Amino acid sequence: MKYIHKLMLSCVNSITNMGMFINMAQDQQLKSMIQGHYAAHVQDYNMKVEFFNKANGPEQKLNVPNFNVSLKDFTKSPIGVNFPSLTPRTNIQKMDDREIATAYLLTLKRAGREYAWAAMEAANPGLRQFLKDAFTMSCNHAYDVWQWMVTKGFYPLEPAPQSSINTIAGIYQEVREPSLV
């Protein structure tokens, strides 16, 4: 039960911030993405409220978004290697798109970790499934935001060094699947 209270506070924070982000975003793609995510977060919050009011698993199923992949190459940045510098701003009146996306991404990542942990601890099967679905929602929304950030150069994407890949590949060997007969 302690996890649900924390997750409800997280939802209040997420929904409130999303409302602010929608109003502040200058990039139409970022704004549309957050607007598209918004309804699922409201549904998630309302389902938690329903759980507390009925003390039973949610009666509806969370609308889990599809996993959308827009990047064509997962080993290098589409903008090259010249990433814009970043320094914290200490006196601001309005967040820029990079700050909005960063705040939203970090919120989704933290919520995802909390949902995963809470799902592992839930005894009620309906609640457990809901928490698993909420984890997937957070995970898929975070991937959307991350991809947007990569395309704008706000999140570096670089290939793993081949020497590291070769080292790791040399350490681990496949296991033959055991015969259970």
Q: Report in angstroms the alpha-carbon separations of 1 from 8, 11, 127.
A: 11, 15, 11
How many CA atoms within 13 Å lie on the side-chain side of 162? Answer: 0
CA distance 98 to 88: 11
Q: For 72-92, what is each residue's pLDDT tens digit? A: 877 777 777 677 888 999 999
Query: Do 7 and 111 meet the contact criterion of CB atoms below 8 Å apart?
Result: yes
Task: Read off the pLDDT of residues 34-43 as tens digits, 9 standing for 90 and up.
Answer: 999 999 999 9
The DSSP symbol for 74 reads S
CB 103 within 8 A of CB 95: yes
- What percent of the chain clears pLDDT 70, i.e. is strictly above it? 97
What domains sit in the chain, N to C, each tagged with a CATH number? 2-66+95-171 (1.20.1260)
DSSP, res 159:
P
Which residues, in sequence order, are CB contacts of 70 under 8 Å at separation 6+? 147, 151
Higher pLDDT residue, 156 or 136?
136
pTM of the full predicted structure? 0.88
Determine the pLDDT at residue 158. Answer: 83
